[in-house]
Amino acid sequence: MPHRTLAGLKQQYGPVIWLKLGSTNTMAILTAKAATELFKNHDLSFAERTIIETSRSHDYYLGSVALAPYGSYWRVLRRICTVEMLTNKRINETVPIRRKCIKDLLKWIENEADMVKDGRGIQAHAHGLIY
C-alpha cells in the first residue's frame, strides 16, 4: 500500500522527500504543514505541469484545467470554472440530470448482475464470470 510506505518514509526522512519514479524525479510532501508552506511560499516554482507527447499531439492539454500549463490561459480557465460553472446555482440546476444518470447507472448494474446470475450475456462470458 503506497500511502503506508510513504508514511514510513516520513518517519525516516522527514516531511519532504525526493523520489525517482522511473525516469521522473518526484517531490512528495508528506505533512499538511509542509504542504502549506510549499503552497504559500513556493507555489509558482512548482506550478508547471509536465505535458506528455500524446496530449500535446492533439492539443488535449489546452482544454483542461488539470492539464493546461500554468499561465494566463490556465488562470482564465480556472476563473471560468469557479465563476461560471461551480456556483451553487449552476450545480443545483444539474440535480435532475445527475439523479437520472445515477438512476440509469444503478439500473444498468442491476441488469448486468441479473445477466451474470442467469449465465447469459456477453459481459458474463467476456469477463469469465460464468462459474
Q: What's the Rg (C-alpha) of the chain?
A: 22
Question: Does some domain include residue 28?
Answer: yes
For the cut 70, the answer to whether the pLDDT of residue 40 exceeds it is yes
What's the average model confidence in pLDDT over 19-34?
89
Q: Where are the beta strands (DSSP E) in the chain?
A: 16-21, 24-29
Question: Does some domain include residue 42?
Answer: yes
Q: Which residues of 80-102 are buried (b: 16+ CB within 10 A; e: fewer)?
A: eeeeeeeeeeeeeeeeeeeeeee
Tell me the residue range of the domain where 60 lies. 52-86
Question: Does some domain include residue 112?
Answer: yes
Question: Does some domain include residue 80?
Answer: yes
Question: Does some domain include residue 131?
Answer: no
pLDDT tens digits, residue range 100-113?
999 999 999 999 99
Give the pTM: 0.44
pLDDT tens digits, residue range 52-84?
787 777 787 777 777 777 788 888 888 888 898
Domain count for the chain, please give it: 3
For the cut 50, the answer to whether the pLDDT of residue 13 exceeds it is yes
Question: Confidence band (pLDDT; 50, 70, 90) for 89?
Answer: very high
